[in-house]
Structure 1
Amino acid sequence: MRHSLPLAPQFYVTAPQPCPYLPDRMERKLFTALQGDFADKLNDSLSKQGFRRSQNVLYRPSCADCCACLSARIKVSEFTPRRSQRRTIKRNEHLQRQASSPWATEAQFDLFRRYLDQRHADGGMADMDIFEFAAMIEETPVRSRVVEYTAPEEDGSRSLQAVCLTDVLEDGLSMVYSFYEPECEKDSLGTYMVLDHIALAQEAGLPYVYLGYWVPGSPKMGYKSRFAGLEVFRAGQWQPLGDPDSYNTEKHPMSVDPIAEQVANITLPDIGPS
């Protein structure tokens, strides 16, 4: 009988392109494919090292002369809601949550299009069609869920208000991508989904909620710094955020390690025979 050993993940770097968060900067990503029988282990391991998932790819910023983007997560045991966040929970208590297997629907896509058209019309997803949307939701090699939030209507039906594609990691919930009804801006649905995922993690006994990247100086990402218990992955380790205003986003040619050093410092999971 022939046996084949699993191949170690190969890492690549994208070509530079305009940064979506900070003006006059170029972004570059370090990435690897996420596939095979050990996809969950790799997703767990690299998520703890600042990587994020997009379909069957794990990536982390690796810009040539900028290190402003910091992976962020909430330490659930240290989270206490602010007064405004308690109001947000109260304001959305009529919403009903339902988690299911990752399957795209027309209702999701319609909501997604409204969200993009009003809030991110010039973003990288602006031209995404229904087939690309379905791929974003459904092409996941790891344990994922679609978490939907619906509101009651006068005729007894329920309308879709918000959606989050969520990965279930061994140490937490990773909010891969979320979108919501743009007409309900006053309801702070984006913040509410984070708060509800904190509650979900507490119920499941999971210590963290992963939020993606926090970028000091970017208005799009500022809301993340308002959650108590926030940690950022910086200098190769997770550490409390501290004062958000103390972070410097100035570019410096020595601020980023060479690609070879970055890859050499990545810890890979044991994917050998058990």
Structure 2
Amino acid sequence: MSNMRTLVFYATPEHPCSYLNDRLATTMFVDPKADVDQSLYTRLSQLGFRRSGHHYYKPRCNGCNACIPVRIPVARFEPSRSQQRTWTKNKDLQVIKCEPRFRQDHFALYQRYINERHRDGDMFPPTLDQYESFLLESREDTQFVEFRHQSRLLGVAVTDTTQDGLSSIYTFFDPSESRRALGVFGILWQIEEAKCRQLPYLYLGYWIRNCNKMSYKTNYRPIEVLVRDNWVSI
């Protein structure tokens, strides 16, 4: 069984940053052969690591610390008026928890979401191999959470469970339903789910102040940021 003392880490060569123009990035990965149980996954999350498929990673860039890990202490979370309206607006949705396996309607929605919302990102164009390696290569504690309206699939939130919280891996949704703010609703639902399961945190990945796609995370207050290996509330 692997633990923090026996883990081996690897670093990628510098490559163009996916979030900030004219920046070079380096990513640190846990050895893919390591046996990452829930206890170790929890510790890695506490240290700012994220999961993508079977890989656990953390930015480690020369001269840049723009990617700041964030998490929501769910017991103290207070929704804004806008978030309260989003929650109310989506009360007509049916929420269904699923195992992480291939479903054609999930993949079709994922393709549409990437094609319409993230054509400028490194996940474009969306392919089946990319979808499977990113989301279907998962853990025993991974859930796909469907948001449906009258049986029509509107969104999917992919969520892991750690010993101290939920980790929001990815959410994709119908781009034509912008009035519902389904991305916001997905986070609010995960906050409520963590509360119901008496888990203290929702891990949201990285906050990047100067990247519009990543800066929204501090809209959820209070929020904690990882600074010099210490979680600090803002």
2:82 corresponds to: 84
Please give the alpha-carbon distance, in whole angstroms, between the structure 2 residues aligned to 1:192 and 1:211.
14
Please give the alpha-carbon distance, in whole angstroms, between the structure 1 residues aligned to 2:205 and 2:106.
21
Please give the alpha-carbon distance, in whole angstroms, between the structure 2 residues aligned to 1:48 and 1:118.
33
Of the candidates 168, 175, 199, which is equivalent to residue 175 of structure 1?
168
* 1:101-116 correspondence runs (5 A): 101-116=99-114
**Structure 1 range deviating more: 89-98 or 121-130:** 121-130
Say if 1:121 and 1:189 are closer, same or farther in 2 by CA, change over 3 A: same
The answer on 1:215 being equivalent to 2:213 is: no
The answer on 1:133 being equivalent to 2:131 is: yes
The answer on 1:59 being equivalent to 2:57 is: yes
In the TM superposition, what is the alpha-carbon distance from 1:40 to its structure 2 partner? 2.1
Gaps of 5+ in 1: 153-157, 242-274
Instruction: Please report the RMSD computed on the Cα atoms of aligned residues, expressed in angstroms.
Output: 1.6
Query: Is contact 2:145–2:157 with CA below 8 Å preserved after alignment?
Result: yes
In the TM superposition, what is the alpha-carbon distance from 1:220 to its structure 2 partner? 0.9
**Secondary structure at 2:146 match in 1:** strand
In the TM superposition, what is the alpha-carbon distance from 1:38 to its structure 2 partner? 4.2
Deviations 1:134-172 (A, max 9, x none): 2322212441111111111xxxxx111111111011100
Deviations 1:175-212 (A, max 9, x none): 11111111111211101100000000010000000111
In the TM superposition, what is the alpha-carbon distance from 1:35 to its structure 2 partner? 5.3
Query: Is contact 2:156–2:171 with CA below 8 Å preserved after alignment?
Result: yes
2:177 corresponds to: 184
From the CA coordinates, give the structure whose radius of gyration is larger. 1
Please give the alpha-carbon distance, in whole angstroms, between the structure 2 residues aligned to 1:229 and 1:236.
19
* 1:129-168 correspondence runs (5 A): 129-152=127-150, 158-168=151-161
The residue type equivalent to 1:45 in the other structure is R
Query: Is contact 1:12–1:30 with CA below 8 Å preserved after alignment?
Result: yes
Of the candidates 220, 229, 232, which is equivalent to residue 236 of structure 1?
229
1:45 corresponds to: 43
**Secondary structure at 2:125 match in 1:** coil
2:30 corresponds to: 32
Deviations 1:20-66 (A, max 9, x none): 22221111111113556543222111001100001111111100110
The residue type equivalent to 2:38 in the other structure is D
The answer on 1:120 being equivalent to 2:118 is: yes
How many residue pairs match? The answer is 232
Identity %: 35
**Secondary structure at 1:115 match in 2:** helix
Q: TM-score, normalised by structure 1?
A: 0.81
The answer on 1:206 being equivalent to 2:199 is: yes
Query: Is contact 2:115–2:126 with CA below 8 Å preserved after alignment?
Result: no
Query: Is contact 2:94–2:149 with CA below 8 Å preserved after alignment?
Result: yes
Please give the alpha-carbon distance, in whole angstroms, between the structure 1 residues aligned to 2:19 and 2:130.
23
The residue type equivalent to 1:121 in the other structure is R
The residue type equivalent to 2:213 in the other structure is K
Please give the alpha-carbon distance, in whole angstroms, between the structure 2 residues aligned to 1:63 and 1:37.
26
**Structure 1 runs of 4+ off > 4 angstroms?**
34-38
The residue type equivalent to 2:88 in the other structure is K
Say if 1:132 and 1:123 are closer, same or farther in 2 by CA, change over 3 A: same
Say if 1:163 and 1:240 are closer, same or farther in 2 by CA, change over 3 A: same
Gaps of 5+ in 2: none
Please give the alpha-carbon distance, in whole angstroms, between the structure 2 residues aligned to 1:226 and 1:6.
36
Please give the alpha-carbon distance, in whole angstroms, between the structure 2 residues aligned to 1:236 and 1:6.
21
Please give the alpha-carbon distance, in whole angstroms, between the structure 1 residues aligned to 2:209 and 2:35.
37
